[in-house]
Amino acid sequence: MKTDIEEINRNIYDIKNKDEYDFKIKKGLTKEIIEEISKQKNDPEWMREIRLKALETYNKLELPTWGPDLSELNMDDIATYVRPKTKMTDNWDDVPDDIKNTFDRLGIPEAEKRSLAGVGAQYDSEVVYHSMKKELLEQGVIYTDMESAVRDYPEIVKEHFMKCVPMSNHKFVALHAAVWSGGSFVYVPKGVKVEIPLQSYFRLNSPESGQFEHTLIIVEEGASLHFIEGCSAPKYNKVNLHAGCVELYVKDNAYLRYSTIENWSKNMMNLNTKRAIVGKNAQIDWVSGSFGSHISMLYPMSVLNGEGAKTEYTGISFAGKNQNLDTGFKVIHNAPNTSSVVNSKSISKNGGICTYRALTKINENAKGSKCSVSCESLMLDDISRSDTIPVNDIRNDDIEFSHEAKIGKISDKTIFYLMSRGISEEDAKAMIVRGFAYPISKELPVEYAVEMNNLINLELEGSIG
């Protein structure tokens, strides 16, 4: 007896535009290619140097000896820089029709009108639209694309770029530093509370290419921000690569909420790196939904450097056919009285693989710290796979730490109970799966509920037999 739970309906994401571009760099990765990207992007000298150094680091580093098999990825087949045929604008009417239609279909301009304080939209390697409410501008909030930030705020960028995540961290972050393009820069000045979320949306249209956007967010002392990131791409038969990098600086007493809905197409290698450095009594909350991509290796990390710093991670991943989603959360308690709460859920079906891979490290100096981790995995059939691989590294005695994980199927008892109340079996199962995902979906901003609903459109079809 099996109830079929449909996979995500991807129609709106899979509409491809013709692969039209203003400039597409040759495939592969050489010094000449990096120089060319740097030239095309009018980099200042210091940025050109970072890129070249990163290439050297990339060549030195080995592929990871753990995690999903990445042998399908051949960098010689990937174009690292694709410039769309448009310039950045702050007026949707100036965005070329095909690109604008893409974002229209994804509901971005509509959401901007209704409930966002600012929007950035990236198409292939460049940001095509960026705008922010005037009031925020007046309060000194900066929200712009990374290239403008490098040009207009070089000192801030120089101080923070690839400092939170060192480029030697792993091979794909070095690759990112060498070929990065696009992304968002947010600066929230001391004490400014940004009440309405900012959102950046990343869309990769061009086949056999990579997207390497860089997101740099600095929330100054006592300030607060909610930032939303969305990503999608249409499906091609060839491998695409996403190796973005997110660097977040949450200064003393500041608050940042970073929400991600990732719905890359099923040919995407999503090898993304995200990290936050959190100051005294500051807090970073991560909300993360992973639905798309062929292979994901994504482990957001909070480094709790200030006394009393806090972090929360709420994540869900849903792996269907031909998907291997290797995700998790890393936290380093590096100061007294820090705390972390982790809540992770995963659903595997149709041969999909979900892995929760994590690190909790409580250092010698993190006296009085607390950490609680909970992860649950739901298996919807017996051809899928679900693994939990958490590392807990505890280095002082004055702490409270607990970790628990569960793996299983939908409980027959619960279904029986609901059915005894007159609910049909399909409805009962649907209810249970929605209930399973609820702790995550309730954390998402309302505007995103629409997209979330599209994503875990867990309509149960009556194929019981």
Partner 1 sequence: MIVNRTPIRTSVNYGINEVDIQDLKIHSKVVEFNNLTILGDSSKFDIYTNDDNNQVNRKDLVYGNGKELEEEVYEKANQNIKIGVNNSGTLNLEFELDDENKCLIDNINIISNSKKQATIVIKYGSDDAQEYYHNGIIRVDAKENSRINIIVINLLNEKTNNFLSIENILGQDAIVNYTIVDFGGKSSISNYYSNLIGQRSKANINTIYLGNTEQLFDLNYIAELRGEKTDVNIEVQGALKDFAKKNFKGTIDFKKGSKKSTGNENEYCMLLSDKAKSKALPMLLCTEEDVEGNHSSAAGKVDKKSLFYIMSRGISYRDAMKLIVKAKFNKILETIKDENLKDEILKEIDTKLD
- The nearest distance, CB 63 to partner 1, in angstroms, is 12
Kindly state whether residue 367 participates in binding partner 1, applying the rule CB under 8 A: yes
- Residues 6+ positions from 360 with CB-CB distance below 8 Å: 330, 331, 333, 340, 342, 371, 373, 390, 391, 392, 393, 401, 403
Residues 284-323 that bind partner 1 (CB under 8 A): none
**Which of 142, 188, 223, 380 touches partner 1 (CB under 8 A)?**
380
**Which of 399, 415, 423, 430 touches partner 1 (CB under 8 A)?**
399
Residue number with CB closer to partner 1 (66 or 138) = 66
Kindly state whether residue 148 participates in binding partner 1, applying the rule CB under 8 A: no
**Which of 94, 135, 400, 461 touches partner 1 (CB under 8 A)?**
400
Options 89-97, 240-248, 336-344, 379-387: segment touching partner 1 (CB under 8 A): 379-387
d(CA 130, CA 310): 31
Is the C-alpha dihedral spanning 210, 213, 214, 219 positive or negative? negative
- The nearest distance, CB 385 to partner 1, in angstroms, is 5
- The nearest distance, CB 374 to partner 1, in angstroms, is 10
- The pattern of x and - marking residues 339 through 358 that bind partner 1 according to CB under 8 A reads ------------------x-
**Which of 384, 436, 445, 448 touches partner 1 (CB under 8 A)?**
384
Residue number with CB closer to partner 1 (391 or 419) = 391
Looking up tokens 């710290």 gives 369
Residue number with CB closer to partner 1 (97 or 398) = 398
Q: Are 431 and 423 in contact (CB under 8 A)?
A: yes
Distances 108 to 65, 129, 200, 256, 413 between C-alpha atoms, Å:
39, 11, 9, 22, 42
What one-character-per-residue DSSP string does 59-121 give? HHSPPPSSSS--TT--GGG-B--EE-SS--BS-GGGS-HHHHHHHHHTTHHHHHHHH-SEEEE
- The nearest distance, CB 360 to partner 1, in angstroms, is 9
**Which of 4, 77, 387, 425 touches partner 1 (CB under 8 A)?**
387
Q: Are 264 and 289 in contact (CB under 8 A)?
A: no
**Which of 253, 273, 343, 388 touches partner 1 (CB under 8 A)?**
388
Kindly state whether residue 381 participates in binding partner 1, applying the rule CB under 8 A: yes
Q: Fill in the amino acid letter for 320.
A: G
How many CB atoms are located within 10 Å of the residue 420 CB?
A: 9
What one-character-per-residue DSSP string does 287-312 give? EEEE---SEEEE--EEEE-STT-EEE
How many CB atoms are located within 10 Å of the residue 317 CB?
A: 28
What 8-state DSSP symbol labels residue 359? Answer: E
What 8-state DSSP symbol labels residue 19? Answer: -
Q: Fill in the amino acid letter for 307.
A: E
Kindly state whether residue 359 participates in binding partner 1, applying the rule CB under 8 A: yes
**Which of 45, 76, 93, 404 touches partner 1 (CB under 8 A)?**
404
Kindly state whether residue 23 participates in binding partner 1, applying the rule CB under 8 A: no
- The nearest distance, CB 240 to partner 1, in angstroms, is 24
Kindly state whether residue 402 participates in binding partner 1, applying the rule CB under 8 A: yes
- The nearest distance, CB 346 to partner 1, in angstroms, is 11
- The nearest distance, CB 400 to partner 1, in angstroms, is 5
Residue number with CB closer to partner 1 (89 or 392) = 392
Our measurement of the distance from residue 26's CA atom to the centroid of its chain's CA atoms, rounded to an integer in Å, reads 27
Looking up tokens 């005037």 gives 134
- The nearest distance, CB 355 to partner 1, in angstroms, is 9
- The pattern of x and - marking residues 216 through 255 that bind partner 1 according to CB under 8 A reads ----------------------------------------
**Which of 407, 415, 418, 432 touches partner 1 (CB under 8 A)?**
407
**Which of 156, 405, 415, 430 touches partner 1 (CB under 8 A)?**
405
Kindly state whether residue 464 participates in binding partner 1, applying the rule CB under 8 A: no
- The nearest distance, CB 396 to partner 1, in angstroms, is 5
Distances 111 to 79, 270, 319, 363 between C-alpha atoms, Å:
31, 25, 27, 42
- The pattern of x and - marking residues 30 through 69 that bind partner 1 according to CB under 8 A reads ----------------------------------xxxx--
- The nearest distance, CB 214 to partner 1, in angstroms, is 23
Q: Are 118 and 76 in contact (CB under 8 A)?
A: no
Q: In sequence order, what are the beta bridge partners of 4?
A: 461
Give the phi and the psi of residue 446 in degrees, each rounded to 5. Answer: -55, -40
Give contact residues for partner 1 (rule: CB under 8 A).
64-67, 357, 359, 364, 367, 377, 379-382, 384-409
